Amino acid sequence: MEEQIRLAAFNWLKEQVTLHGDILPRSLLVNGFHYNGERVTLIGPQGIWKPKIFHKIPISIATVCDGPYDDSLADDGSFIYRYRGTDPFHRDNVGLREAMKKQIPLIYFFGIVPSKYLAVWPVYIVNDNPNTLSFTVVADDMASIQEHLLKPATGIVSNESEYAIRRYITSSVKERLHQKSFRERVLLAYRQQCAFCRLKHAQLLDAAHIIPDGEELGDPIVTNGLSLCKIHHAAYDTNIIGVTPDYRIEVREDILYESDGPMLKHGIQALQSTRIILPRDKNAWPDKERLSIKYSRFLQTG
C-alpha cells in the first residue's frame, strides 16, 4: 500500500507544479492530499518526514535556507544530507538507511526562501556516511520510480551507465536549484515588483543578471540581480536601457527619440532619468562595480 501512496504523492506533486509553478509554498505541502480518506502530509517540522500512514520509511527529506544543518554537495556532484542529530540509530536516520537498502524513491524539498521549496523527485539514498553523520543523495529520472518502487528491490545501483545517468540528472538539479534560488531571492528582495516600473505580477517578473551567468562576477547572488518585468528584462539585456552606478535609468539615445506606439512612449522612454526601485535591505542593493561594468557596455552600444 505504501508504494501506491508514494506514487500518488509523486502524481499529486506533479499536478501542484503544473498549477503553481516549480516553487511550492510550505502550507500546501503541510496540508498534503487525501488517499482513501487518510491525509498524507509531505513535509513536517523535521527535515526527515514520515507521514503517520507510513510504517518506517520517510516520504521526504527537506532543507531550509539558512537552516541548522550544513547540507551541501559532494565532490562528485551528489548531495550530502545530514543525519537528524548525532545518533545514527535515531528512527529518522534508520528510516533513511532502510530507504537506501531497498532503493525507495523519496522527495527532496529544497528550501529556496523562507516557506518556499523546490521539489525534486525521485531522489535516492545511495550511501551512508556514519563518520560524517550524513547520507549521500542522488536524483534520477521518472522511469526509475517504476523500476525501484513496483519491482522487487535489487539493491543500490552498481551499473556504471546508471551511475552516469544519475550524476547527469543530479547535476541538472543543482543547476535548476541555483536558477530558482536566484530568482526567488531577487524577487523577495525587491518585494515582488519590477525595479523599473513597479509591476507586481510575479508571473511576469524575472530575476535579471547584471553580469551574465558564466562570466567573472556573474554569480547568482542578489547583488548581481534586478527584479524586472519581462519587457524591461529584455530591454536591459539588449542595452536598450542602462542603469548607472548611482541607480539611474538611461534609455539609449536612438530609442529615446524614436516615434512609435504607447508601449515605447510610456514603457521605455518615460523611464529616462528615473531612479530604480531598490530593496529595503541595503545589503541587497545592486553591486556598483557590476552596474558600472554593465553600464559601460550600454554606453558602447549608444
Same domain assignment for residues 33 and 96: yes
Same domain assignment for residues 89 and 210: no
pLDDT at 68: 47
Question: What cell does 270 get?
Answer: 518615460
Residues of the chain scoring pLDDT < 50: 68-69
Same domain assignment for residues 103 and 236: no
Q: What is the pTM of this model?
A: 0.82
Cα torsion at 224, 230, 234, 240 (round to 10°)?
-100
Is the CB of residue 137 less than 8 Å from the CB of residue 123?
A: yes
Same domain assignment for residues 33 and 166: yes
CATH for 44: 2.30.280
pLDDT at 58: 98
Same domain assignment for residues 234 and 294: yes
Same domain assignment for residues 180 and 197: no
pLDDT at 157: 55
* Amino acid identity, position 115: S
| Spatial separation of the C-alpha atoms in residues 8 and 266, rounded to whole Å | 49
pLDDT at 71: 56
Query: What is residue 223's three-state secondary structure?
Result: helix
Domain closes at, from 160, 186, 212:
186
| Spatial separation of the C-alpha atoms in residues 68 and 65, rounded to whole Å | 9
Domain closes at, from 186, 211, 235:
186
Same domain assignment for residues 168 and 214: no
Could you please report the per-residue DSSP string of 134-194? EEEEEE--THHHHHHHSS----S---HHHHHHHHHHHHHHHHHHHHHHHHHHHHHHTTSS-
Q: Where are the alpha helices (DSSP H) in the chain?
A: 2-20, 26-31, 91-102, 143-149, 160-189, 230-237, 253-256, 262, 288-301
Same domain assignment for residues 254 and 151: no
Max distance between CA atoms of the chain, in angstroms, equals 72
**Which residue range is the domain that position 225 belongs to?**
192-301
Interval 76-123: pLDDT, tens: 778 999 999 999 999 999 999 999 999 999 999 999 999 999 999 999
Same domain assignment for residues 48 and 144: yes
